[in-house]
Structures are given as structure tokens and as C-alpha cells.
Amino acid sequence: MGSSSVLVQGLVALAAGLCPLGASAIEHRIDPTHTFATFEIDHFGATTNRGRFVLKQGALDFNLAEETGKVEVMLDTTSVSTGSAVFDAKVRSDDVLDVERFPTARFVSDRFVFERGRLTEVRGQLTLKDKTQPVSFRTLKFNCYNNLMFGRTVCGGEFEAVIDRTAFGIDYLVRFGMPKEVRLLVQLEAIQP
């Protein structure tokens, strides 16, 4: 599985686990229709290149009372979609993600950070192209609600991080002025079983 996919789904599970449903660990399943990851990178100061990945799977164990937990998510790097077939092919190529050799990305959390009872950050390890680096995802929003369609509690949120792509061996066009920094935005929702 892809590291990014693991990350996304883990975050979804995390969001679900943060619902005020009790002190014990609660596992939620990811809702794929409301869960995905996007990336953004500046294009020579003129525009922003954007794309998105489909999330594949993940798991979460979470204890709200103790403010502890573990999340793991995987991303299918072959599922990248930028709206341009030419750009998709370049992102999939060995110059960038090399999806034939590395079809998944993975995020495994180390720590959940809270301030005044609110989740503010998820710290962990991101593996991309077989290289693992520490990454911290900032919580942009998070909420749990009663979904009338499912008759169950759904929790979800948005999380962002900025990574140095060269730390993962992705240095395509850096020497020509393309930035190293890539913004990752993970949107996820998870449903109580």
C-alpha cells in the first residue's frame, strides 16, 4: 500500500476516534466518498500545480480520555489525478513518484497533540519512495456529527503539512528553480461501525 494512502486513511480513522464516544479506543472505518489527499507545489511563482490521490486503507486506535492513539494510513500513488494526462504521466514517472516501483505511500503516527482538549496536530513518520521522514500534520478543522443517512456517528477533519520533497528523493527541476516545499492537505471522514 502507498504511504500517502495509509496516512490519509489513518487520519480518517483518527478523526473518527476523536469523537466524544467514550474513553475506550474506538475504531472507525473510512468513508471513501469524503476522504482523499491533495498536494500543491508552486510553479515558478506564476501558478500552483495541484493534484489529488485516492485513499486506500488505514486503521486507528484512539483513547480520548487519555488523549492517546495510533493512526496508520496508506495512499495509492498510482491514483494521482491532476486534471492533465500529461502532468499525471510526469508525476507517475521515475522523475517524481516512480509509481511502478513505489505504488503506495504510508503515514504512521507517533503522537497526537492536544491543546485545551482539542486535537491540534498529528505527528508521525511518512514513507514515500521507500524513504521515511518525520512529518507533522496541523489540524485545520475537526468535528463529529450524527449522520442521519447511516444512523451512526461520523467524525472527520482536514489536516495539512508542508514537506521537503528532496528528503524523499524527489528533486525534479529543483536546480531550475522549482521549490522543494510541497503542501499536503488530507481530508477524511470515518464512520462508527
- Asked whether residue 22 carries a pLDDT value surpassing 60, the answer given is no
Q: For 115-164, what is the HEC assignment?
A: ECCEEEEEEEEEEECCEEEEEEEEEEEEEEEEECCCCEEEEEEEEEEEEE
Return the CATH number at 151.
2.40.128.110
Q: Where are the alpha helices (DSSP H) in 18-145?
A: 85-92
Look at residue 7 and tell me whether its pLDDT is greater than 70.
Answer: no
**3-class SS of residue 42:** strand
Please give the tally of structural domains in the chain.
Answer: 1
Q: Which of 2-11, 19-28, 50-59, 167-176 has the lowest mean pLDDT?
A: 2-11
Give the domain extent around 19.
Answer: 3-191
pLDDT of residue 79: 93
Q: What percent of the chain has pLDDT over 90?
A: 50
pTM: 0.81
Burial class (CB in 10 A: 0-12, 13-18, 19+), 142: middle
Of residues 63 and 75, which shows the higher confidence score? 75
pLDDT on residue 62: 61
* HSE-CB of 90 using CA atoms within 13 angstroms: 11
